[in-house]
A = this chain, B = another copy of it.
């Protein structure tokens, strides 16, 4: 048995449990989401911190093909200090050429071997969670605890989910069959048929700057398991978490006797982007993209490759009624604060009717709702230490400008401000801005960052209509609604379903409401402009390989 097949056996139960979790869609995870000392081996925390420190100011040696120099200019959003980490600069064509040379052995490896390699990579990434958490914290700007869960268990779960789906899709096709029949009055004919699962080609995975692993790992494993080599192209400001993942992939591939060039890294800069050069290579057959609607939409319309995107929308919150309005507003305010509104599931557009929000027998008027929403935001960021733990850092200066623009566009109910005592960190508490329902040119698109708009429509029905109209036409990854009445809840579910958008209802105690669970939540519907790739349905995996068959007539008798 090969080493890769051994790994498959070692991790088989985990894989089978993941398949089961995808089918039943309850809560499950084989990974450890919390850094709590008692859940980790002695010294794991310190080793992770030390490993991160040791990387600073060094070169990440990957031995990539087509290396032509070094680059890297990441700056920690928390310390505002350069990390000083340098990565190989590669020549795109040479890189992909070498991946093409690595490909044949991977194409002809068994599904078991390929999935075994993927499972082992997942296990090693999991063991390195502390290191990945530091790397993500100091590049993406996520608060440390979020970085720990987000670059660790949560992303690994999405990766394992995609792997489990790919495995199931491949398992649908038998390796061979015997086909026997007669034609007309002719003799019985027997054909021996073989079905080969053939990958498409090199996959380019374009990761985002703020939450890189969560979409990159699913794409990585969906591609790798189905036989497609993967080049990971990180966001220029968030390279380290992706580079560390690539390093682990290459180690595992090599130990399994495969060419490490099946997984490579293509780092670029704002000044010299490399993506179009990668896409121009004839071997590149798949693109997985996470990022803004502009480039995502361009890819969807123009790339000759198979394209999977997660882009963005203008996620809504629709307020109808509540048992405990402050609990609702506390949850919504948390979504605005959480990682400074830089998640794809962050709420942006808060809608209510002019009649206000019903609480018991009372209609709470819009002005009061807004006031209490602002108070709820204030509460999350009142204590600097807690504020920093919830908001983390702002990934990019562009987001600070976006906040200013948003504040200039309407009535500022709450002004954004840096978090006091955050030192050199680039921080911003949420801006809450009231807009008229007619200001669709403002709220009808994503404003990335801690920016919440509040709109009062003529009525709740009108508010719901506006929110779902925008979800369908402008995009929504996660929208939210609050209502106490069963019929209203059903109406909300139907309206969002018709708009092709998912909705979370009455999420209050579950914090953060932004949370989307692997194996349980389908992430991105593909029915609105927020992307085409759903984590992780069969469509996410089924087209990454094709079936090529041969049939051989067997001698009679």
Cβ-defined contact, B543 with A543, below 8 A = yes
Cβ-defined contact, B510 with A191, below 8 A = yes
Interface size bucket, A side?
35 or more
A196 interfacial by beta-carbon distance below 8 Å: yes
**Chain B proximity mask over A202-217: 1 for CB below 8 Å, otherwise 0:** 0000000000000000
A412 interfacial by beta-carbon distance below 8 Å: no
Min CB–CB distance A517 → chain B (angstroms): 7
**Chain B proximity mask over A490-513: 1 for CB below 8 Å, otherwise 0:** 001100110011111111111100
State how many copies of this chain the complex holds: 2
Residue A502 contacts which of B200, B525, B550 (CB distance < 8 angstroms)?
B550
A136 interfacial by beta-carbon distance below 8 Å: no
Min CB–CB distance A81 → chain B (angstroms): 30
A408 interfacial by beta-carbon distance below 8 Å: no
Cβ-defined contact, B511 with A183, below 8 A = yes
Q: A23-B172, A169-B538, A538-B538 are in contact. Are A493 and B177 (CB under 8 A)?
A: no
Name which of A200, A501, A525, A539 has the most chain B CB atoms within 10 A of its CB: A539
**Chain B proximity mask over A508-538: 1 for CB below 8 Å, otherwise 0:** 1111000101001110011100000010011
Cβ-defined contact, B553 with A507, below 8 A = yes
Q: A538-B169, A543-B539, A546-B527 are in contact. Are A552 and B506 (CB under 8 A)?
A: yes
Cβ-defined contact, B198 with A26, below 8 A = no
Residue A25 contacts which of B193, B500, B509, B543 (CB distance < 8 angstroms)?
B193
Q: A-side interface residues toward B, CB under 8 Å?
A: 23-27, 34, 168-169, 172-174, 177-181, 183-184, 186-187, 189, 191, 193-196, 198, 200, 301, 304, 489, 492-493, 496-497, 500-511, 515, 517, 520-522, 525-527, 534, 537-539, 542-543, 546-553, 556
Q: List 9 A-B contacts (CB under 8 A).
A: A25-B193, A177-B520, A179-B517, A183-B511, A183-B515, A492-B550, A496-B548, A505-B552, A527-B548
